[in-house]
């Protein structure tokens, strides 16, 4: 049952021509989406990979289509995979990513994105859970395979490299540097095939290729599983969110509603600095911009941020998709501050809260807005977005079409208007559940089909939503709720602060106290400066009682600051101090 219009005041802010609901998916499957865009945009450049030294390689829409066809045939006809078998992909941003991902979809198999920086133990745990029948891994990380495969043998291992499909001379230079200069390429110690050889084997099946790929696709529909997208594991063991073809295609259609007329088909260039194994870049960058016929500039490793310099210098970047720390970090790079991108139209932010201070400084420096949205792995990911031209500072925007949002309390009851509550979402983008974890699925799904996000938010009277914080990160100080995002945003407005993270620490009778971890922009910044700034801008109980300066903060590979790691360090330190005292 759909919410009545009276309960959806956000509809008044929908772009012209947008409808409250999307009646049917524009494509049955992701594979159809890929093939349709390839036919439409043909020889235009789809993906460009840019190395820190400026060396680059391109693949056109037509090349991606042909090569992904070949990979699909290799999986089914040579490697012997069946529909629904999992294919793990473990590589940084590079040209093999779309070839392998799209080929997996075309084969009717299920893509499993794996963080390439995982340890062998972490790889083994994810493999053991997903049980993939094939693995595509970049050679830089192949030394982890013998240990990782002890947890779960994988019958088909395909090895690729970051420079795959780049011009021969470029590929040769990069290979020599990696192998003999920095010695980053280990010997592969497990049976394997190289990706180009796998594609050649698929190409050799020419007599069956076209009819085979069409037959694979015909057996799929919107309910077919497309991807196992693993959550970050911040609340325990990482879980595989089951995303169907319908989830992903519908979420692309929902998102395009807000981009229509602003992102021009076939004319834009998007910078992909965050890794495509993360749900935001995977769907919005890899699939969304491919659908629109735009060039995607892939950066294999954005750290240090100087690695992005050549991409900005050599390409007319019109859109950036990133997280708060990426935008903040770029503005602290002298080369970026001295020469901001001239062709940039706007940027999309997700993955973590966008601090108001960062958004304001970005606008002043680049003359463009950072448009904040909201989503999760379990929602494919987009739930809300700020309509371009109607963005509201500090807001995650309004629900995309066919999406219902309610705010609920711990008992699952809707909270009164104007009150904060846990955001719950219902719509076609919500996952089918967690892979082999019915118990965990039951914890997050309500009886009437709403997904409990774990995020606390509020809704403005006219329908714009705001995130207060993660439910599990809330700090309870003498009975008062303190939300880290609010404190961090306050700290970010102090000129001497480069980055900040806030957690709750045990504090006797008060329950918890606020502790801030700060990376200085000004070496002269003192604890007294920080406390005075917070006292001037926040009520007393919200200000940090403890302040620790650090040279860096722990981050995920997307650049999201990991409060959970800081919390674990703090608790371990307190336990060690207690044991020492007892001894």
Coil/strand/helix, residue 128: helix
Task: Give the residue, 204 or 112, on which the prediction is more confident.
Answer: 112
Position 179 scores a pLDDT of 64
Q: Which residue has the tokens 């192949």?
A: 142
- Other CB atoms within 10 A of residue 120 CB: 17
Answer yes or no: pTM beyond 0.95.
Answer: no
Spell out where 471-563 has E strands.
Answer: 475-477, 480-482, 497-506, 512-520, 546-550
The DSSP element (H or E) to which 525 belongs, if any, is: none
CB 280 within 8 A of CB 351: yes
DSSP bridge pairs for 68? none
Q: Which residue has the tokens 């069946």?
A: 82
End-to-end alpha carbon distance in the chain: 62
Number of H helices and number of E strands within the chain?
19, 25
pLDDT reading at 382 higher than 90: yes
- Other CB atoms within 10 A of residue 180 CB: 9
Instruction: Provide the token pair at 173.
Output: 């230079």
User: Which domains, ranges and CATH numbers included, belong to the chain?
Assistant: 63-220 (3.40.50.980), 474-582 (3.30.300.30)
pLDDT digits (tens, 9 = 90+) for 400-447: 999 999 999 988 999 998 899 999 999 999 999 999 999 999 999 999
Q: What angle do CA 464, 468, 474 make, to 5 degrees?
A: 160
pLDDT digits (tens, 9 = 90+) for 318-331: 999 998 889 999 99
Mean pLDDT of 286-305: 96
Coil/strand/helix, residue 110: strand
Position 471 scores a pLDDT of 82
Q: What angle do CA 409, 412, 418 make, to 5 degrees?
A: 40
pLDDT range class, residue 268, cuts 50, 70, 90: very high
DSSP bridge pairs for 467? 457
Name which of 360, 287, 351 is nearest 324 in CA terms.
351
Instruction: Provide the token pair at 331.
Output: 């503005």
% the chain with pLDDT above 90: 74
Instruction: Provide the token pair at 364.
Output: 């002043």
Task: In whole angstroms, give the CA distance from residue 445 to residue 2.
Answer: 17
Task: Give the residue, 26 or 578, on which the prediction is more confident.
Answer: 26
pLDDT range class, residue 163, cuts 50, 70, 90: very high
Name which of 208, 241, 195, 202 is nearest 100 in CA terms.
195
CB 191 within 8 A of CB 154: no
CB 342 within 8 A of CB 370: no
- Other CB atoms within 10 A of residue 471 CB: 15
CB 279 within 8 A of CB 287: no
pLDDT range class, residue 503, cuts 50, 70, 90: very high
CB 343 within 8 A of CB 353: no
pLDDT digits (tens, 9 = 90+) for 9-25: 999 999 988 899 999 99
pLDDT reading at 143 higher than 80: yes
Q: Give the total residue count for the chain.
A: 583
Position 233 scores a pLDDT of 46
Phi, psi of 377 (to 5 degrees): -55, -40
Identify the weakest region by mean pLDDT among 46-55, 191-200, 509-518: 509-518
At a CB cut-off of 8 Å and minimum separation 6, what does 423 contact?
383, 405, 407, 453, 455, 456, 457, 465, 467
Identify the weakest region by mean pLDDT among 129-143, 176-190, 294-308: 176-190
Q: What angle do CA 279, 162, 293 make, to 5 degrees?
A: 55
Task: In whole angstroms, give the CA distance from residue 58 to residue 444.
Answer: 42
CA distances from 491 to 13, 497, 501, 519 (A): 32, 7, 9, 11
Position 182 scores a pLDDT of 58
Burial grade of 577 (CB within 10 A; 0-12, 13-18, 19 or more)? exposed
CB 16 within 8 A of CB 465: no
Coil/strand/helix, residue 405: strand
pLDDT range class, residue 4, cuts 50, 70, 90: low
Coil/strand/helix, residue 388: coil
Task: In whole angstroms, give the CA distance from residue 515 to residue 414.
Answer: 32
Task: In whole angstroms, give the CA distance from residue 441 to residue 239.
Answer: 10
CB 342 within 8 A of CB 269: no
Instruction: Provide the token pair at 554.
Output: 């722990």
Task: Give the residue, 261 or 381, on which the prediction is more confident.
Answer: 381
Position 235 scores a pLDDT of 39
Characterize the bridge pairing of strands 319-322 and 346-349.
Answer: parallel
Position 236 scores a pLDDT of 46
Instruction: Provide the token pair at 441.
Output: 């699925």
At a CB cut-off of 8 Å and minimum separation 6, what does 247 contact?
226, 380, 428, 429, 430, 431, 432
Position 29 scores a pLDDT of 97
Mean pLDDT of 1-15: 81
Position 430 scores a pLDDT of 98
Task: In whole angstroms, give the CA distance from residue 451 to residue 403.
Answer: 11
């Amino acid at each position: 049952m759909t919410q009545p219009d009276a309960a959806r005041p956000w509809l008044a802010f929908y772009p012209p021509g947008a409808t409250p609901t999307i009646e049917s998916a524009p494509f049955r499957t992701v594979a159809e989406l890929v093939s349709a865009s390839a036919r439409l945009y043909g020889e235009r450049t789809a993906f460009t990979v840019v190395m820190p030294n400026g060396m680059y390689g391109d693949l056109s829409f037509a090349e991606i289509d042909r090569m992904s066809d070949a990979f699909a045939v290799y999986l089914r006809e040579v490697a012997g995979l069946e529909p629904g078998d999992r294919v793990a992909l473990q590589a940084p941003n590079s040209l093999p990513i779309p070839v392998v991902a799209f080929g997996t979809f075309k084969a009717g198999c299920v893509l499993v994105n794996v963080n390439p920086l995982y340890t062998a133990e972490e790889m083994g745990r994810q493999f053991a859970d997903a049980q993939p029948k094939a693995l595509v891994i970049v050679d830089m990380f192949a030394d982890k395979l013998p240990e990782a495969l002890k947890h779960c043998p994988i019958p088909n291992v395909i090895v690729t490299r970051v420079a795959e499909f780049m011009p021969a001379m470029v590929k040769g230079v990069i290979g020599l540097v990696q192998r003999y200069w920095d010695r980053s390429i280990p010997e592969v110690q497990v049976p394997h095939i190289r990706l180009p050889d796998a594609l050649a084997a698929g190409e050799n099946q020419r007599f069956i290729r076209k009819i085979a790929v069409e037959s694979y696709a015909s057996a799929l529909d919107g309910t077919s599983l497309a991807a196992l997208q693993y959550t970050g594991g911040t609340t325990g063991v990482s879980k595989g969110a089951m995303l169907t073809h319908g989830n992903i295609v519908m979420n692309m259609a929902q998102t395009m509603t807000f981009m229509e007329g602003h992102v021009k088909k076939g004319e834009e260039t998007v910078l992909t600095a965050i890794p495509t194994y993360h749900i935001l870049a995977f769907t919005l960058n890899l699939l969304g911009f491919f659908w629109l016929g735009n060039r995607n500039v892939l950066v294999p490793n954005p750290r240090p941020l100087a690695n992005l310099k050549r991409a900005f210098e050599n390409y007319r970047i019109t859109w950036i998709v990133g997280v708060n720390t990426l935008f903040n970090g770029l503005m602290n790079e002298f080369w970026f501050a001295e020469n901001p991108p001239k062709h940039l139209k706007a940027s999309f932010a997700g993955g973590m809260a966008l601090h108001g201070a960062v958004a304001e400084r970005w606008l002043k420096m680049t003359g463009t807005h950072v448009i904040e949205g909201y989503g999760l792995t379990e929602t494919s990911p987009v739930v809300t977005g700020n309509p371009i031209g109607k963005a509201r500072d500090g807001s995650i925007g309004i629900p995309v079409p066919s999406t219902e949002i309610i705010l609920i309390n711990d008992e699952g009851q809707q909270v009164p208007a104007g009150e904060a509550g846990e955001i719950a979402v219902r719509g076609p983008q919500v996952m089918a559940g967690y892979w082999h974890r019915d118990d965990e699925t039951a914890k997050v799904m309500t009886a009437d089909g709403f997904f409990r996000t774990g995020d606390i938010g509020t809704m403005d009277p006219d329908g714009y939503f705001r995130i207060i914080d993660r439910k599990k990160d809330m700090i309870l100080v003498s009975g008062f709720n303190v939300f880290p995002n609010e404190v961090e945003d306050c700290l970010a407005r102090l000129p001497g602060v480069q980055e900040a993270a806030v957690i709750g620490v045990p504090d006797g009778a008060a329950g918890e106290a606020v502790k801030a971890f700060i990376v200085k922009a000004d070496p002269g910044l003192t604890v007294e400066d920080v406390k005075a700034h917070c006292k001037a801008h926040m009520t007393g109980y919200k200000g940090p009682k403890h302040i620790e300066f650090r040279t860096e903060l722990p981050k995920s590979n997307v650049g999201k600051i990991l409060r959970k790691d800081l919390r674990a360090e703090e608790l371990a330190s307190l336990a060690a101090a207690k044991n020492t005292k007892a001894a």
